């Protein structure tokens, strides 16, 4: 960080700023430019609140040289993080494919889909039990019963289960029952929830908020990591733009950007990005081509009658053919499926 001081900054005030920065653990280096006086800060600036510096009447502006996240930063850990989930991994050479319905609807539905996902080569089963619906009158999920059905599908197929947690009250139950805890787009900045899952050692799938910047997504990961849990998988699931044709706009550029900024694995959810089943395949292929570590795809046996997100769900047959196409793309980008 470089603090640019006002030309007429009072000496007494400058000394106060310097002392404050040193108390926070940073060295200060002063230099006098032609018009401005500069105060360079060296060391761990993560405890410095930029707003407090900028609010100071003697400060002209603040130049931030480094990103505000630390544990999630690639500088902190240059090699890629590989998250281990039982005998599977996310990150590294092998691609992860998390597939299943938007929500768990019945035993027959979730077990049937889980078997098809497994046969096609999917590596994880998804299914919402607690659903974050825009309307309180829409299907809210089978809740605890949904978790039980997911466990049953896991027992029958061996697929680890990924499901969304919405409330800090259920953290313990999720730690016990599921393999990967999903934090949804709507809760990406629910800081209490992030801190609670940060205290566990469960792998966390953190989805990008629908209007969150890449930096905000990485700061959300930092919240979890700051509590001790470093097993995080990020997920790009589209952001809100002026475009209405698709549900969201898939930000494919986020993948190389995140790979440059962070060591954490990142996957893509083309289903929630496009909101249209027929766009899932082209976007999934593009995601792998730009370097995503995997995919999250909504698969439903009867999309016309799905309780949630049928419009963006592909049928098991299509999932199978998508998987065989992805198997051909993977080696081109030095991955395997
Ligand atoms: C989901 O994956 O079930 C979901 C609700 O997605 P998002 O949080 O990305 O909207
Ligand atoms: Mn959905």
201-241 residue pLDDT tens: 999 999 999 999 999 999 999 999 999 999 999 999 999 99
Helix (H) or strand (E) holding 269: none
- Asked if residue 102 has its Cβ within 6 Å of ligand 1, the reply is yes
pTM: 0.93
Nearest CA to ligand 1 atom 9: 185
Can you tell me the distance from the alpha carbon of 6 to that of 60, in angstroms, rounded to the nearest whole number? 5
Ligand 1 pocket test: which of 99, 102, 161 has the largest number of ligand atoms within 8 Å of its C-beta? 102
Whole-number Å distance, alpha carbon 272 to ligand 2 midpoint, is 6
- Report residue 309 CA to chain centroid gap: 20
Least confident of 20-34, 111-125, 225-239, 301-315: 20-34
Fold classified for 83-333: TIM Barrel (3.20.20)
Contact 1/63 with Cβ under 8 angstroms? yes
- Asked if residue 128 has its Cβ within 6 Å of ligand 1, the reply is yes
**pLDDT value at residue 8:** 86
- Asked if residue 180 has its Cβ within 6 Å of ligand 1, the reply is no
Q: Which residues, chain by chain, have CB under 5 Å from ion ligand 2?
A: 102, 309
What are the extents of the domains in the chain?
A: 2-63, 83-333
Ligand 1 pocket test: which of 133, 207, 235, 297 has the largest number of ligand atoms within 8 Å of its C-beta? 207
CA distances from 116 to 9, 105, 120, 278, 324 (A): 69, 16, 6, 19, 14
Q: For 172-195, how does the pLDDT look when each residue is reduced to its tens digit (9 = 90+)?
A: 999 999 999 999 999 999 999 999
Q: For 247-286, how does the pLDDT look when each residue is reduced to its tens digit (9 = 90+)?
A: 999 999 999 999 999 999 999 999 999 999 999 999 999 9
Q: Which atom of ligand 1 is nearest to the CA of 102?
A: 3
- Show Cβ contacts of residue 325 under 8 Å, excluding neighbours closer than 6 positions: 281, 285
Contact 272/313 with Cβ under 8 angstroms? no
Q: Does 3.30.70.1140 match the CATH number of domain 2-63? A: yes
């Amino acid at each position: 960080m470089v603090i640019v001081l006002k030309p007429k900054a009072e000496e007494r005030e400058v000394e106060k700023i310097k002392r404050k920065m040193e108390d926070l653990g940073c060295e200060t280096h002063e230099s006098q430019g032609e018009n401005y006086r500069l105060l360079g800060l060296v060391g761990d600036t993560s405890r410095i609140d930029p707003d407090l510096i900028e609010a100071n009447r003697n400060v002209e502006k603040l130049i931030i040289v480094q990103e505000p996240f630390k544990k999630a930063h690639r500088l902190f850990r240059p090699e890629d993080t590989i998250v281990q989930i039982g005998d599977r991994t996310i990150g590294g050479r092998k691609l992860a494919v998390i597939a299943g319905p938007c929500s768990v609807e019945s035993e027959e539905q979730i077990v049937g889909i889980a078997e098809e996902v497994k046969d096609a080569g999917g590596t994880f089963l998804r299914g919402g039990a607690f659903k974050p619906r825009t309307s309180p009158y829409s299907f809210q999920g089978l809740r605890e019963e949904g978790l039980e059905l997911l466990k049953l599908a896991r027992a029958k197929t061996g697929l680890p289960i990924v499901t969304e947690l919405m409330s800090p009250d259920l953290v313990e139950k999720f730690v016990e029952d599921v393999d990967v805890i999903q934090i949804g787009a709507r809760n990406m900045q629910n800081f209490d929830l992030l801190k609670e899952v940060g205290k566990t050692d469960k792998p966390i799938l953190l989805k990008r908020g629908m209007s969150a910047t890449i930096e905000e997504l990485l700061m959300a990961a930092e919240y979890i990591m700051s509590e001790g849990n470093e097993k995080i998988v990020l997920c790009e699931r589209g952001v809100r733009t002026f475009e209405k044709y698709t549900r969201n706009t898939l930000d494919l550029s986020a993948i190389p950007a995140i790979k440059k900024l962070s060591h954490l694995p990142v996957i893509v959810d083309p289903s929630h990005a496009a909101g249209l089943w027929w766009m899932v395949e082209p976007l999934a292929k593009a995601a792998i081509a730009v370097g995503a570590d995997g995919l999250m795809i909504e698969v439903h046996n009867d999309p016309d009658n799905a309780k949630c997100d049928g419009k963006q769900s592909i049928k098991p047959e299509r999932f199978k053919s998508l998987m065989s196409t992805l198997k051909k793309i993977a080696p081109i980008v030095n991955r395997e499926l």
